[in-house]
Structure 1
Amino acid sequence: MARSAAMLNAAIYDAESSYQLRWKGKITSEAYIHAEKYAGILEGPDEEERVIGRTAYNILLKLYGKNQTQFLDAKFRERFGTEPTEFDILDVTVVNKMVTQMMDARNGDGSDDDRVYAGTFEPGAWRPTSYPDMPDPSCAQHSQAVTPYWGLVKPFALTSGSQFRPDTPGLYGTYEKLLASDAYKAQVEAARSAGADKPTAKTPVVNRTATQEAAAWFWANDLDGTYKPPGQLLQATRDIATVRGLNTYQNARLFALVSIALADAGIAVRDVKYLTAIDLWRPVSAIREGGLDPEWKPLLKNQKGVNVTPCFPAWASGHATFGAAWAGILQRYFDNDAIAFDLTTDEPQSPVKKRHFESFSSAARDDAYSRVWLGVHFPWDAEDGIKLGDQVAGYVFTTKLRRL
């Protein structure tokens, strides 16, 4: 999702920049790939919207046309009142060039690597999280681990997925040293206490407030049918941009920056999860198989009420990395962190659908620690994700779409 959004919004930004060059005489920030000062004698009706809309449609058609052509066609008609297949001179002069340059840039980027994960059952190492009392057929064997080689995908801005790779808990070097450390034991106890679904004989107290539990579900978006973390953050970007009154060109740049940062955050965090010395097991494995509590379950459940855990290693947190990358771009774009705003969720199990925040960083931190309260992450997963995401945002903002 994050890769698709980056391709979509970066192509839209270059298309909008092309329009600005043709009819406004200049652009105020550099193109992502290339802005075309295309041919034209007079500006056509709704030309800016046509350039953007037809670029968006054709990128999405390339990405999802195999199964979603009818859906995309219907959305185009709803938005523009015309058929996307109708001839439009803008396809020839600019749109096809924007689409082609983006598809060419991402061709062979490694996103189609379908190799499966070959893990071990060494204590501390990630393993499937399906148990008899919490069955999850989608995570019953190592080979079902999700996108184990995504950390090798070509980034949109970073030099590599490992550019900002954090140290902990990888600094311990081996699972044996990690599990013997006091820091690890404290992490497990924090996750055990804050993330339990309910008290058990060996975990009699759940140390989580009602507000924290609401946050856990508000940010979840783990299940199919939700818009997942990238979608929630793009919706948040839309809400904030609307309130701030950004114009079309400003919007195009903001969405491109956010989307590029989210895409690279996804690559960077997958590098940490799979391509370091420590592919850390989830709290449910640490607590159960570490002998602390064989009945412990995370708060996270699927819509059938079965407790589940995402099917990939814990460290670092993807939600935390995405959230911090998003917040880092918004802080830098508006040159201000202390901007109040509301966020929404489409998580069906969330008790609240809207929450208020006083800053971008506070929302990112809430997002990060929601995963601890949901029982699927350790605190250092959240902290390292926050740091990683902000580093990604800083690099994206200072190297791409820079002010001219």
Structure 2
Amino acid sequence: MKSVSGLSAATLLPGIIAAALLGASARADVVTDWNVTTSTLVSSDIGNNPRLRTLAMVHVAMSDAINTVHNRYTRVVVTVPAAPSASAEAAAATAARQILVQIYPTKKDQIEEAYAASLKAIPDGPAKTEGIKLGMAVADAVQADRANDGTNAADTYRPHTAPGVWVPTTPPMREQYARAKPWVFGSADQFRPGPPPALSSDEWARDYNEVKSLGGTKSTTRTAEQTEAVRFWENINFGPAWQAAARELAMKHEMPLAECARLFALLNMSLANAYIVNWDAKYTYNVWRPVTAIRNGDQDGNEATERDAGWTSFNPTPMHPEYPSQATINAMIASAVLESVFGPVKAIPFTATDVRDAKRTRRFASLADMAEEQKNVRVWGGVHYRFAIRASEDVGRKVAAYMIENTLKPTP
């Protein structure tokens, strides 16, 4: 892995050329348009969990609506009769609109503006009318399917106090996701990783000392390039980067509507599942974050870990247990889904744009390089141990493989 701002012109040139070609041939459709609209709306959510739930609901609704018309791929939720004479575009836009106005009633004007733009591009007539009716029915079905998914259940978490156990300093973030209903597969613990290494182990000491050295605010071993990477990604750019990559690839390849809908539904269901799987493991193992472990290094029973009472992580420590790593699971899932559609992500260059400042970018020789950096910055930023990254790679691969194999399959 190597990426970005410090690269030579020769290394950056493929990405620049790809971006130029993309701009020349790209075309949006109703799916990518509503991905942008939804991504903009969810950017104001606090925390990452509801963002992916919303994106999954919107894209499942659009995919089910489009395939009720075109019957290219199996549907996820909807069982209404086929409607081959309806406008798939009207159905998809209406389904997305209906989902979003329920979730963001205070932003209805913004949603309606996007909806009006979608409908304006569709000729008036029976197909449009039927598509609107279909979209409403599909949205109702998806909302009903998610109404009791457990994401709004009461928080039952109570802090534990013992060496090795995560100690929250504010109420933990959305603990109920540990028991939420996944998309497609059976339960939150279906892909639970094994336990983290024992505090007495060499592995614990090695990974403790790595994050202690690299991840602190006063680190002298973290390079300037690593520091810039941590600052770029923080917690805000991980998700938007993968949505943008999917949009760019879909538009560059001029994907047919049903194929584009499948891509975004598969991607966002899988990412929504990542949170459920990860939260299950986090609240099962309750592993302490580096900031707690390093300040209490004299209490883990391992002579190879020395305490630093004033150590602080370079990134703000998230308010949930450490193990596994959400950023890693997401990167593994997103790259696997994109690779299943577009081919090896090692061959796909990409420029990630900061959602806070469009002039600030990081250029990668490949999407695989971007995924690798997203894993590493969690150690460089002081919020994860390397063993969590390794375990999360395996979890991400398994979730992605299951989703690719078991949903949105071509119809006979």
| Interval of TM-score (by shorter of Structure 1 and Structure 2) | 0.7 to 0.9
Equivalent-residue separation in structure 2 for 1:242 and 1:40 (angstroms):
25
Which ranges of structure 1 fall in alignment gaps of 5 or more residues?
A: 21-26, 129-139, 173-177, 200-205, 301-307
1:148 to 168, 175, 192: 175
Q: Mark the CA change 1:38 to 1:265 in structure 2 (over 3 Å): closer, same or farther.
A: same
Q: 2:111 corresponds to which residue?
A: 72
Aligned to 1:293: 308
2:244 corresponds in structure 1 to: 235
TM superposition shift of 1:317: 0.6
Per the alignment, residue 373 of structure 1 pairs with 380
Matches of 1:108 and 1:393 in 2, distance apart?
24
Whole-angstrom CA distance in 2 between matches of 1:335 and 1:198: 41
Q: Which residue of 2 aligns with 1:189?
A: 209
CA contact (8 A) 1:15 1:35 kept: no
Answer yes or no: is 1:51 the counterpart of 2:91. yes
Asked if the contact 2:329–2:393 (Cα under 8 Å) also holds between the matched residues in 1, the reply is yes
Separation of aligned partners in 1, 2:269 and 2:291: 33
Q: 2: distance between equivalents of 1:32 and 1:322?
A: 21
Structure 2 counterpart of 1:63, which letter? I
Is the deviation greater in 367-376 or in 229-238?
229-238
Q: How does 1:302-381 map to 2 (within 5 A)?
A: 308-346=316-354, 348=356, 352-358=360-366, 360-381=367-388
Deviation at 1:349, TM superposition (A): 8.8
Determine whether 1:386 maps to 2:393. Answer: yes
Name 2:159's counterpart in structure 1.
119
1:209 deviates by 2.5
2:286 maps to: 279
Q: Is the 8 A contact 1:261 1:393 kept in 2?
A: yes
Q: Is the 8 A contact 1:368 1:383 kept in 2?
A: no
Q: Give the alignment partner of residue 258 of structure 1, picking from 255, 267, 272.
A: 267
- Residue 155 of structure 1 aligns with an amino acid whose one-letter code is P
Q: Residue in 2 aligned with 1:109?
A: 149
**1:401 aligned partner, one-letter code:** L
**How does the TM-score come out when normalised to structure 1?**
0.79
Shift of the alpha carbon at 1:114? 2.5
1:149 positional shift: 2.3
Contact 1:282 1:376 (8 Å CA) reproduced: yes
Select which of 198, 207, 211 maps to 2:225. 211
For 1:3, the equivalent position in structure 2 comes to: 53
- For the residue of structure 2 that corresponds to 1:354, the secondary structure is strand
- Code of the aligned partner of 2:297: G
2: CA distance between counterparts of 1:350 and 1:289? 41
Contact 1:38-1:94 within 8 A present in 2 as well: no
Contact 1:219 1:347 in 2 (8 A): no
Match of 2:346, SS?
A: coil
Alpha-carbon separation, structure 2, partners of 1:398 and 1:318: 22
CA distance in 2, matches of 1:161, 1:399: 16
- Give CA-to-partner distance per residue, 1:143-164, whole Å, 9 cap, x none: x110112121010022111111
C-alpha deviation, 1:120, in angstroms:
2.0
Q: Return the letter of the residue paired with 2:72.
A: T
Summarize deviations over 1:338-391 as a string: whole Å, max 9, x none: 331214243549994232232x43332221111111111111111211211111
Uncovered stretches (5+) of structure 2, i.e. residues with no partner: 1-50, 299-306
Give the Cα–Cα distance (whole angstroms) in 1 for the partners of residues 357 and 318 of structure 2: 16
Q: Over aligned residue pairs, what C-alpha RMSD do you find? A: 2.5
Asked whether the 8 Å contact 1:230–1:262 carries over to 2, the reply is no
Q: Distance in 1 between matches of 2:91 and 2:357?
A: 39
The answer as to whether partners of 1:214 and 1:352 remain within 8 angstroms in 2 is no
The residue that corresponds to 1:401 in the other structure is: 408
User: Equivalences for 1:78-97 in 2 at 5 Å?
Assistant: 78-81=117-120, 89-90=129-130, 93-97=133-137
Residue 74 of structure 1 and its aligned partner are, at CA, apart by: 2.7
Q: C-alpha distance in 2, partners of 1:80/1:70?
A: 15
Q: Following the alignment from structure 2 to structure 1, what is the Cα–Cα distance between the partners of residues 385 and 322?
A: 8
Counterpart amino acid of 1:96? M
8 A contact 2:263–2:341 mirrored in 1: yes
Q: Deviations over 1:32-64 (max 9, x none)?
A: 2236555576x6xxx332221111101111222
In structure 2, the residue corresponding to 1:272 is in which secondary structure?
A: helix
**Residues 250/159 of structure 1: CA separation in 2 closer, same or farther (3 Å cut):** same
Contact 1:148 1:270 in 2 (8 A): yes
CA distance in 1, matches of 2:380, 2:389: 11
Identity %: 26
- Report the alpha carbon displacement of residue 93 of structure 1 after superposing the two structures with TM: 4.2
Matching residue of 2:77: 33
Classify the secondary structure of the residue corresponding to 1:96: helix
Contact 1:61 1:69 in 2 (8 A): yes
Query: Number of residues paired by the alignment?
Result: 349
**Alpha-carbon distance in structure 2 between the residues aligned to 1:39 and 1:181:** 60
Distance 1:31 1:315 in 2: 34
User: Within 2, Cα distance between the matches of 1:168 and 1:357?
Assistant: 34
Q: Deviations along 1:321-351, whole A, 9 cap, x unmatched?
A: 1111111111122243333121424354999
In the alignment, the residues of structure 2 paired with residue 352 and residue 214 of structure 1 have an alpha-carbon distance, to the nearest angstrom, of 11
Letter in 2 for 1:10: V
What amino acid maps onto 1:69 in structure 2?
K
